[in-house]
Chain A
Amino acid sequence: MKGNEALAEGAIIAGCRGFFGYPITPSSEIAEYMARKLPGLGGVFFQAESELAAINMVYGGSSTGKRVMTASSGPGISLKQEGISFIAEAELPCLIVNVSRGGPGLGGIQPSQADYFQATRGGGHGDYRLIVLAPSGAQEMMDYTIEAFDLADRYRTPVMIMAEGTLGNIMEPIIVRKPEEKSYDKSWAITGCKGRKPNIINTLHLSSEVLEERNRHLAAKYKLIEQNEKRAETFLTEDADIIVVAFGLMARIVKKSVMEARKKGIKAGLIRPITLWPFPDEHFKKAAETVRLILSVEINMGQMIEDIRLSVNGKVPVEFYGRIGFTPNPEEITKQLLLLAEREGF
């Protein structure tokens, strides 16, 4: 399956029966797959007139307690930010997928990780967070999507899958795993109030006290997510002098460079954040005690590097290598590692 198809099939396996979106390269195969499959499963596929309409349909759909999603790419996700802010405050579980492309502006459709800030810093207005998962292959596109719906329901929060164009289009074999059935309390959902008090979903809080109370409530929830859900993959970090940090597809490419660098006698390792928010800072705090240099490799001009620097808090120098429009290849990163090792004398 292609990554985008694996993601869409994962959503169906997770019980998602509502897709609302507006097509954009390189995410369109998700919409196409859902358009072909959902009607036959009693679900709803709706190509909205715009991204604004689509995200508000997700808002409405998730208000009913059903599993719903949207998928887009950078410019489309920008248009959806207002709705995402509303959904976060209304505490509605849903999935938002960004198969990102090069920006800013219309940019281009080349693979890119330049929406890291947008994904992890909120993007929309107000004090909110999204759980952001970054898969690195077609199998994870499926598995993380299934998991994303569970995280969304468990914390009543929108979850984002952050992929990029190549990952959406990569062809890989898939093992389909049926997840265990979990049930969640959805007594808040709008399902028709016959025989009970109406549920009201609203994000307008004119009273200062209520506004602050709402923000404190969300902040406490985000704290809980930070405690429970930080995740990273580590590769050859135990004895490493230099650690490369990369997420998503880039991490996979870096893995090859790390192995090449090891062959040349450089003790290199990899930390791959799986959750971009909450950022897996403990992995970096631990690494900072032994490692001599950290190199962040991103398909952008340097975004995740800020989170790495916050995590190591000045204990280790953090350098950057990135490109956009092109995906750095393994040889290119190996060369960087060799240059840094020579400069630092290890």
Chain B
Amino acid sequence: MANITILAGGFGSGKSEIALNFALEKVKRQTEHSKVILADLDLVNPFFASREAKKQLEDKGVRLLGPRADLAFGDVPQLPPEIIGIIGQDNDMIIDLAGDEVGSLVLGYLSSFIKIRNQLDFFMVINPYRPFACDLESVVYLKNMLEAASKTHITGIISNPNLVEETDAQIILEGHTRVLKYADAMGIPVKYLTVEEKFYEQFLFQYGNQLKLINLYLRPGWLKVL
């Protein structure tokens, strides 16, 4: 118990979808007295934030911690006041930060309180098909900015190579190869490769524990119609 998993990364790298999946996976393994908490600390941009899946989370027993309801769709940065107390309690916590270094600033403030936790995983999510993750220089720049803003060292990388509906196995493999190169150059381990359900089986043999299945909870169904 008292683990904390924090997701940071570039704007639109997939942090919120991954945070939702992590929370819903953790809650499945929940024992009677454990608690899974997802803190949506996206104080920058409320579009497609993990708090949109509030109902799905709460139905499954995940406690969502985020801006209060009347400010959930605001551009007024609002940090849930109870967050520091909850960080100090015994629970399983996932923090979903906003994109880029501005999104990780809030962790800079929380970093001294987080030290109390037994285990801290601070992941940088990378989708190498995003505009500012296409080359090593940009990724290293972002990594340094994230660490400076959050006052926390990144402990692992989550490789999230996708072009949403146009993703195929080749796109995943080529993208993941690039993420491995970035990770190698930065000396940070790749902890997970995230794929949608339809690709899970075919990559499982090769990637084993590293592979994480991701369901998209925030993507509107009508998107496929154009």
Q: Are B47 and A166 in contact (CB under 8 A)?
A: yes
24 A-B pairs in the complex with CB atoms less than 8 angstroms apart: A1-B130, A5-B12, A5-B131, A9-B131, A25-B45, A26-B45, A26-B47, A29-B45, A109-B73, A109-B74, A110-B73, A166-B47, A168-B47, A169-B45, A169-B48, A172-B223, A173-B129, A173-B163, A173-B164, A173-B165, A252-B222, A252-B225, A256-B221, A330-B221
Q: Is the Cβ of A255 less than 8 Å from the Cβ of B163?
A: no
Interfacial residues of chain A within 122-179, with CB under 8 A of chain B in the complex: 136-137, 165-166, 168-173
In the complex, given contacts A26-B45, A29-B11, A108-B73, what are 7 additional A-B residue pairs having Cβ atoms less than 8 angstroms apart? A1-B130, A137-B226, A169-B45, A171-B48, A172-B223, A173-B163, A255-B225
Q: Which of B46, B165, B221 contacts A109 (CB 8 A)?
A: B46
* List of A residues within 8 angstroms of B166 by Cβ: 173
Q: Does B197 touch A at the CB level, under 8 Å?
A: no
Closest residue of chain A to B171 (Cβ to Cβ) is A173
Inter-chain CA distance A25–B98, complex, in Å, is 15
Closest 5 CB pairs of A and B: A169-B47, A25-B75, A173-B163, A173-B166, A256-B222
Q: For this complex, into which size category does the number of interface residues on chain B fall?
A: 20 to 34
Once A2-B12, A25-B45, A108-B73 are accepted as A-B contacts, the answer to whether A330 and B222 lie under 8 Å apart by CB is yes
Given A9-B131, A25-B45, A36-B132, A171:B226 Cβ within 8 A: no
Smallest CB separation, A278 vs chain B (Å): 24
Q: In whole angstroms, what is the CA distance A33 to B132 when docked?
A: 10
Which secondary structure dominates where chain B touches chain A? loop
Number of interface residues of A (CB under 8 A): 30
Q: Is A38 an interface residue (CB 8 A)?
A: no
Closest to A175 in B: B166
A153 vs B222: C-alpha distance when bound (angstroms)? 35
The contact string, 1 if C-beta is below 8 Å from chain A, for chain B 124-154, is 0000011110000000000000000000000
A333 to B45, CA, bound (A): 28
List the A side residues contacting B46 at CB < 8 Å.
Answer: 109
User: Chain A residues with Cβ under 8 A from B225's Cβ?
Assistant: 252, 255-256, 259
* Residue A253 interfacial (CB < 8 Å): yes
Complex Cα–Cα for A173 and B221 (A): 16
The distance in angstroms between the C-alpha atoms of A229 and B131, with both chains bound, is 32
Q: Which residues of A contact B165 (CB under 8 A)?
A: 172-173
Bound-state CA distance A110–B71 (Å) is 12
Which residues does chain A contribute within 8 Å of B163, judged by CB atoms? 173
With a cutoff of 8 Å between Cβ atoms, the chain A residues found around residue B129 in the complex are 173
Asked whether, in the complex, the Cβ of A171 is within 8 Å of the Cβ of B222, the reply is no
The complex places the Cα of A5 from the Cα of B130 at a distance, in Å, of 10
A contact residues around B11 at 8 Å (CB): 2, 29
Type the 1/0 row for B21-55, where 1 means its CB is closer than 8 Å to any CB of A: 00000000000000000000000011110000000
Contact of A165 among B47, B130, B131, B132 (CB under 8 A): B47
Looking at the assembled complex, report how far the CB atom of B142 sits from the nearest CB atom of chain A, in whole angstroms: 11
- What 0/1 pattern do residues 157 to 189 of B give for CB contact below 8 A with A? 000000111100000000000000000000000
Interface mask (A1-24 → B, CB under 8 Å = 1, otherwise 0): 110010001000000000000000
1/0 per residue, CB under 8 A from A, across B189-226: the answer is 00000000000000000000000000000000111011
Q: Which residues of A contact B164 (CB under 8 A)?
A: 171-173
Instruction: Please tell me if the beta carbons of A252 and B226 are within 8 angstroms of each other in the complex.
Output: yes
Chain B, residue nearest A109 (CB): B75
- CB of A270 to closest CB in B, whole Å: 11
CB distance A171 to B12 under 8 Å? yes
B183 → chain A closest CB, angstroms:
23
Alpha-carbon separation in the docked complex, A109 to B166 (Å): 30
User: A268–B48 Cα gap in the complex (Å)?
Assistant: 31
Expressed in whole angstroms, the Cα–Cα distance for A173 and B163 within the complex equals: 6
**List of A residues within 8 angstroms of B45 by Cβ:** 25-26, 28-29, 169
Within 8 A of A (CB), among B72-107: 73-75
